[in-house]
Amino acid sequence: MDEFEIKLFENQQIRRKWDAELEDYYYSIVDVIGILTESNNPNRYWAD
């Protein structure tokens, strides 16, 4: 079963999901963009 987790980076949340088959994590790119750019709307930043 895949598990979803919330991790903190500099007190901000980043969603991640464990892939047991590949034994690796997948991170939400929108969450990472929001942290790195300090954007108020990272979904729009990603779309642009």
Work out the burial of residue 47: count CB atoms within 10 Å of its CB; fewer than 13 is exposed, 13-18 middle, 19 or more buried.
exposed
pLDDT in tens, 22-35: 999 999 999 999 99
The H or E element that residue 14 is part of is strand 12-19
Residue 1 above 60 pLDDT? no
Q: What is the pLDDT of residue 31?
A: 92
- Please tell me whether the overall predicted TM-score, pTM, comes out greater than 0.85 for this model: no
